[in-house]
Structure 1
Amino acid sequence: MRFVPLAVAAALALTACTANRQAGPSLGDRPRPSGSASQSLPAATIELWHGFSTDAEVKAFEQAIAGFRKKFPQITVKAVKGVQDDQITQAIRGGRAPDVAASFTTDNVAQWCRSGAFQDLTPVIRQDGVDLSVLPAVARSYTAFEGRQCTLPLLADAYGLYYNKALMKGERPPRTLSELTALAKKLTVRNAKGDIEVAGFIPSVQYYENSPSHLAPMVGATWYHPDGTSAIGSDPAWKKLLTWQKELVDWYGHDKLDTFRKGLGDEWSAEHPFYKGKVAMVLDGEWRNAMIANEAKDLDYGTAPLPVADDRPDLYGSGFTAGTVIGVPKGAKHPQQAWELVKHLTTDTASLVTLSNALRNVPTTQASMRSPDLAKDANFATFLGIFSHPKTSTLPAAVNSVFNQEAMASFMAKWEKGGVPDLDAGLKGVDKLIDDKLKLSGG
């Protein structure tokens, strides 16, 4: 799965809310063909826009589509690679929408569902008898908003703990936050000046994948109340998480940790500090397995679920998930044929396994996760378990998703630096920022 910077995603979310509701064929107001769909659907050429761009990614996507082409030989699928959310939204607004569009981020789902930029798939899901229970509940939750199932999950990301076996020296991966703290301290190496040479674990929210959304499941923290207002200031789990985080930052020394962090290699290169033995344990997604195989094939490492709060052992094995979503935009010229393609890509076991094996993301149906054709060594299997765990969580869909995440990330960065004198008041301040923005957005 590709990483979408929050700053970029913010701009995309702003444009999504203005999507044009132009007239045109839709899934809701056109009758379904009678008889077998493969026989009764008329011939058409449909456009599928997706964000995959490397040769291997594009090839995998074409292989996944091959099964659909065999089933519907009268439908030509024109796949367009490297398309980002802002291009999709602008095309919808300009009346040039593709028939099918896939996105790497779930941050725009709420805007797309609410505005009608993506069509509600609920009617055709019911008409075709598609059983969404084959998807984990968490995957269903991040693809819908306000009762509108305007997207479906294509592949998923799950986040866990990677650990360097040589640096661990026989220690087992930590299961609780107190164990993580103790092991991080034990594995940290400093020079004579006290500067960090090897970090056991970097607790800073500014480090790579340590975003608030990825860390929150470790303590079971919730983002919103049922009415959509912020729960950050009233959920004690957030205070627990931030207290643990800052205590470990303070043990390292904020300035020393910051200097060390800034001197590390790029996250998306062969210079990643985990590859180089500079960090013993890191929070990361399942796709890191494929990157290690390509960039550090001799690295001896293991994977495990993320440690959890000491008083929440029931959370162990769970984690954070999100993923690629796919749907039929408003204004699609051939919505019925588009739906058949979306249904195929998101429910056909062979297609999902093909994509997962090539891209090393988690397939999203129970059947595809159990398929004997799925490549799943022990390190990848960890993430299949995390994704399917009943307490794995996601960032709930919200119209201001990017803004809310940035507000919390900014606060956590200020907190770990020692710039927040009153944690309770600070968290309430984050609530106010989120709730004020929600009011401006129409609640």
Structure 2
Amino acid sequence: MNPQKLLTAIVGGAPPDLINQDRFTIGDWASRDSFEQLDDFLKAEKSTKDPVQQSNFYPAAWNEALYKGHVYGIPTGIDDRALYYNKRAFREAGLDPNKPPRTWEELKEYALKLTKKDDKGAFERIGFIPNYGNSWLYLYSWQNGGEFMSKDGRKCIMDNPYSVGALKYMTDVYDALGGYDKVNTFQSGFQGAEQDPFFTGTIAMVIDGSWKLNNIARYSPGLDFGVAPAPVPAERLKGEGRFKGQDPFITWAGGYSLAIPRGAKHPKEAWRFLKWMVGEEATVIGARAQQKFNEAKGRPFVFTLSADKSINEHMLKLFPLSNTRLQNAQKLNVDLLPSAKFRPVTFIGQTLWDAHRRAAERAWQHNQTGLSAQAALTEQRALVQKELDKQSTRDRLPLFSFLWPTII
């Protein structure tokens, strides 16, 4: 829904009773007191059959809909990221198609081995592009132990050593491939649908979202591909140093949650519908309808991941795929979800996202900007912190009362 229309409806006292909202934005809406807290509904659920409760959901999905300790949305779907690789390209490059890269070092090595150039040095196939698909600096930073906001949400810390190390790694890969500008020029010719560069063999490896499987099923079901967790720093894989006791692989998740706008006229009815929508019955009904549509088009059906852990396990059994590559990939995506990270819940979420993108691009273009990974992140951190400090100052100001005498 258009954010301006939604805000206007809420302010005007005529909001919808329920909305399916990108979880990434819920913290921002909650900070404006635009959504209802759902805590009381959840308390009442404890005495009901099949209650909606935190333990049903993946931590990343549930926690992304929290703001200052209160629940503002109930998760519906979820997605995550993994490494998709072309097995045919692996064989052509002399690589074992059953042994994808597991570490950052291997990923860089494979990226170079899988890259093909013509006699003039132009790319015919590129092995890997650090930020093509859906990885972003967020993923690499989390893999390396970095964060973007302090735990209390008052400070932007995107220029911490681990995030800097992650951005430096991405920059190094771009440089090894010939530089960001050369890679970006090649990438600018990429298309979608049937001409997706991963389907056509123009790129051999890509970190992308779980929705990639539906695209493969629709446009290239015969593709000889594999899926693996996104490669990580070697120390993380071995569980050494600061990574001791941590998950060897990291993904990050997004998705939607159902929320009740402030001032909704039928909140109890909205909750009843919400409860049904996030449950197994509604999920299976929707999946069966989509399955029939896909079958009518001659396409394999890959179910959309649920934010509810038990529903995904049931769906894997209920909708098995005869295409073993798709089936194995879907199972891996489900297995990765418990270790998923999520974008910081903050009222400046979009500002932070934009700043992290700018920092990355300015570091990748260091030949033009002259900025190192450290300098680029520090520059953008300052801009985000400025916005945080503005809000902190507003929060300390007393509320204006129209009851006080005013002199004009």
TM-score, structure 2 normalization: 0.81
Looking at structure 2, the residues matched to 209 and 98 of structure 1 have their Cα atoms a distance apart, in angstroms, of: 32
Q: Deviations over 1:138-194 (max 9, x none)?
A: 111111111120111100011111111111213311111011011111111111111
1:223 equivalent to 2:148? Answer yes
What residue in structure 2 maps to residue 175 of structure 1?
102
Deviation at 1:350, TM superposition (A): 2.8
Specify whether residues 420 and 405 from structure 1 end up closer, same or farther in structure 2 by C-alpha distance, changes over 3 A only: farther
CA contact (8 A) 2:236 2:249 kept: no
CA contact (8 A) 1:143 1:151 kept: yes
1:328 equivalent to 2:260? Answer yes
What residue in structure 1 maps to residue 6 of structure 2?
88
Name the amino acid aligned to 1:111. Answer: D
Deviation at 1:93, TM superposition (A): 2.3
CA contact (8 A) 1:305 1:316 kept: no
Looking at structure 1, the residues matched to 140 and 183 of structure 2 have their Cα atoms a distance apart, in angstroms, of: 19
**Which among 146, 168, 189 is matched to residue 263 of structure 1?**
189
What residue in structure 1 maps to residue 228 of structure 2?
304
Q: Deviations over 1:368-400 (max 9, x none)?
A: 0221325461111111111123xx211121111
Deviation at 1:210, TM superposition (A): 3.6
Looking at structure 2, the residues matched to 277 and 225 of structure 1 have their Cα atoms a distance apart, in angstroms, of: 41
Specify whether residues 381 and 400 from structure 1 end up closer, same or farther in structure 2 by C-alpha distance, changes over 3 A only: same
What residue in structure 1 maps to residue 398 of structure 2?
none
Q: Deviations over 1:330-358 (max 9, x none)?
A: 12111101111112222x22323444674
Looking at structure 1, the residues matched to 159 and 318 of structure 2 have their Cα atoms a distance apart, in angstroms, of: 46
Looking at structure 2, the residues matched to 284 and 123 of structure 1 have their Cα atoms a distance apart, in angstroms, of: 38
Looking at structure 2, the residues matched to 375 and 320 of structure 1 have their Cα atoms a distance apart, in angstroms, of: 25
**Which among 405, 412, 420 is matched to residue 360 of structure 2?**
412
Specify whether residues 341 and 430 from structure 1 end up closer, same or farther in structure 2 by C-alpha distance, changes over 3 A only: same
1:434 equivalent to 2:360? Answer no
TM-score, structure 1 normalization: 0.75
Specify whether residues 301 and 422 from structure 1 end up closer, same or farther in structure 2 by C-alpha distance, changes over 3 A only: closer
Looking at structure 2, the residues matched to 253 and 425 of structure 1 have their Cα atoms a distance apart, in angstroms, of: 22
Specify whether residues 230 and 354 from structure 1 end up closer, same or farther in structure 2 by C-alpha distance, changes over 3 A only: farther
**Which among 88, 97, 114 is matched to residue 15 of structure 2?**
97
What residue in structure 2 maps to residue 246 of structure 1?
171
Looking at structure 2, the residues matched to 173 and 380 of structure 1 have their Cα atoms a distance apart, in angstroms, of: 17
Specify whether residues 304 and 441 from structure 1 end up closer, same or farther in structure 2 by C-alpha distance, changes over 3 A only: same
Gaps of 5+ in 2: 47-51, 238-245, 291-301, 322-326, 396-408
Specify whether residues 249 and 362 from structure 1 end up closer, same or farther in structure 2 by C-alpha distance, changes over 3 A only: same
Name the amino acid aligned to 2:197. Answer: P
The range that moved more, 304-313 or 273-282, is: 304-313
**Which among 3, 24, 31 is matched to residue 107 of structure 1?**
24
CA contact (8 A) 1:138 1:393 kept: yes
What residue in structure 2 maps to residue 189 of structure 1?
116
1:367 equivalent to 2:310? Answer yes
Deviation at 1:133, TM superposition (A): 1.2
Matches within 5 A, 1:68-217: 83-103=1-21, 105-129=22-46, 130-169=52-91, 170-171=96-97, 172-203=99-130, 205=131, 207-217=132-142
Q: Is the partner of 2:198 in helix, strand or coil?
A: coil
Q: Deviations over 1:58-79 (max 9, x none)?
A: xxxxxxxxxxxxxxxxxxxxxx
What residue in structure 2 maps to residue 349 of structure 1?
280
What residue in structure 2 maps to residue 284 of structure 1?
208
CA contact (8 A) 1:175 1:316 kept: no
Backbone CA RMSD of aligned residues = 1.9
Gaps of 5+ in 1: 1-82
Looking at structure 2, the residues matched to 315 and 420 of structure 1 have their Cα atoms a distance apart, in angstroms, of: 36
Looking at structure 1, the residues matched to 332 and 6 of structure 2 have their Cα atoms a distance apart, in angstroms, of: 34
Give the share of equivalent positions with the same residue, in percent: 24
Specify whether residues 85 and 298 from structure 1 end up closer, same or farther in structure 2 by C-alpha distance, changes over 3 A only: farther
CA contact (8 A) 2:64 2:342 kept: yes
Looking at structure 1, the residues matched to 349 and 42 of structure 2 have their Cα atoms a distance apart, in angstroms, of: 26
Specify whether residues 375 and 190 from structure 1 end up closer, same or farther in structure 2 by C-alpha distance, changes over 3 A only: same
